[in-house]
């Protein structure tokens, strides 16, 4: 079977002993060794180093740090994007990429969740002890950590803060005339339990894709790559924006296949019947 003659991957990670990714792949029959590399140069959550390129590109760049250092046929890495959507809801999009060393074929598992702890507040002139209490409570300290950053990044961020007193110490030691400080979630995976859950979901998505093989070449990773809009409404029969088909593609050969969605759109979700 193409690509899986050897279920062996090197996971490139920072601070990690494999986190959630390695155990999940191991239970799916893979051998995973961990290569600890400082990936901070590719971007940090503190904002001290800005990320360049798309999350997918950054994840692939991380995985390729194993080139020349590992004889494993596959390299593995992950990258997350934590943001707030326009409604202020926390949003975590996680990618786990598996790069086939010899061919460069790349499989991507992904997961999106709003169920992630993400707090952040600037310490301004109206700052009070009770606001710090409130922030620590929302930060879910214990399962999560905080960091203190300078808004202009003129001093290095202090992260991994597990207790309120550590936050207070960092604030005191980092404060300087004219400097604006911000307290925010330290989202590094080993310090954020809720983020690890989303990385786990992305890993399971990758494992699902690995178990799906191409009908033409038997390569692993045959999976949907695109939704084709145009599913019809059950009442007016006009096409809507909902997918009428999913386009599946093989990462190893040119084989593609459309699978039709056997359904209609309820008029309540039809832009023509219910504008």
Reduced to 3 states (helix: H, G, I; strand: E, B; else coil), residue 37 is coil
List the beta bridge partners of residue 146: 161, 185
The least CB distance from residue 214 to Zn ion, in Å, is 3
Closest CA to 187 of 110, 88, 113: 113
Residues in binding contact with Zn ion, number by CB under 5 A: 15
Task: Mark the segment that binds Zn ion (CB under 5 A) among 161-169, 173-181, 188-196, 242-250.
Answer: 242-250
Q: Between 119 and 253, name the residue whose CB sits nearer to Zn ion.
A: 253
Contact 98, 107 (CB under 8 A): yes
Token pair of 111 as six digits: 């997961």
Distance from the Cα of residue 14 to its chain's centroid: 15
Instruction: For residue 233, give the nearest of 274, 258, 264 by alpha carbon.
Output: 264
Give the nearer residue to Zn ion in terms of CB position, either 81 or 235. Answer: 235
236 binding Zn ion? (CB under 5 A)? yes
- Name the segment binding Zn ion (CB under 5 A); options: 3-11, 45-53, 194-202, 247-255: 247-255
| DSSP state letters, 108-166 | EEEEEES-S---EEEE-TT--HHHHHHHHHHTTBTTB-EEEEETT-SS--EEEE-SHHH
SS3 65: helix
- Of the pair 112, 236, the CB lying nearest Zn ion is at 236
Binding segment for Zn ion among 78-86, 107-115, 151-159, 234-242 (CB under 5 A)? 234-242
Residue 272 lies near Zn ion (rule: CB under 5 A): yes
Least CB distance from residue 163 to Zn ion, whole Å? Answer: 53
Nearer to Zn ion, 119 or 247 (CB): 247
Q: How far is the CB of 219 from Zn ion (least distance, A)?
A: 4
Q: CA–CA distance from 74 to each of 28, 49, 56, 67 (Å)?
A: 15, 28, 16, 10
Site residues for Zn ion, 193-232, by CB under 5 A, read: 214, 216-217, 219
H helix count then E strand count, the chain:
5, 12
Cβ nearer to Zn ion, comparing 125 with 268: 268
**In terms of CB distance, is 127 or 255 closer to Zn ion?**
255
Rule CB under 5 A: choose which of 182, 255, 256, 261 binds Zn ion.
255
- The angle that helices 129-138 and 164-174 make with each other, rounded to 10 degrees, is 130
| Shortest reach from residue 270's CB to Zn ion, in Å | 3
263 is an interface residue for Zn ion by CB under 5 A:
no
Which residue lies nearer to Zn ion by CB, 169 or 216?
216
Positions touching Zn ion (CB under 5 A) are: 214, 216-217, 219, 233, 235-236, 250, 252-253, 255, 267, 270, 272-273
């Amino acid at each position: 079977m193409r690509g899986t003659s050897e279920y062996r991957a090197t996971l490139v990670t920072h601070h990690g002993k494999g986190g959630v990714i390695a155990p999940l792949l191991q239970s799916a029959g893979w051998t995973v060794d961990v290569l600890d590399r400082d990936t901070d140069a590719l971007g940090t959550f503190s904002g001290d180093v800005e990320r360049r390129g798309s999350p997918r590109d950054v994840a692939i760049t991380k995985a390729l740090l194993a080139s020349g250092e590992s004889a494993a046929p596959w390299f593995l890495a992950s990258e997350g994007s934590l943001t707030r959507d326009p409604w202020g809801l926390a949003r975590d999009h996680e990618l786990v990429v598996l790069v086939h060393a010899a061919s460069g074929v790349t499989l991507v598992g992904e997961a999106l969740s709003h169920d992630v702890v993400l707090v952040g507040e600037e310490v301004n002139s109206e700052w009070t002890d009770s606001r710090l209490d409130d922030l620590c409570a929302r930060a879910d300290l214990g399962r999560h950590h905080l960091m203190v950053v300078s808004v202009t990044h003129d001093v290095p961020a202090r992260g991994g803060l597990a207790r309120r007193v550590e936050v207070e110490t960092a604030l005191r030691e980092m404060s300087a005339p004219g400097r604006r400080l911000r307290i925010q979630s330290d989202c590094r995976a080993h310090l954020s339990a809720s983020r690890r859950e989303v990385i786990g979901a992305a890993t399971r998505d990758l494992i699902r894709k690995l178990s799906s093989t191409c009908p033409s070449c038997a390569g692993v990773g045959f999976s949907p790559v695109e939704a084709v809009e145009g599913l019809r409404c059950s009442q007016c029969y006009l096409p809507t924006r909902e997918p009428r088909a999913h386009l599946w593609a093989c990462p190893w050969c040119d084989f593609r296949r459309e699978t039709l969605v056997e359904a209609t759109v309820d008029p309540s979700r039809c832009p023509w019947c219910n504008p």
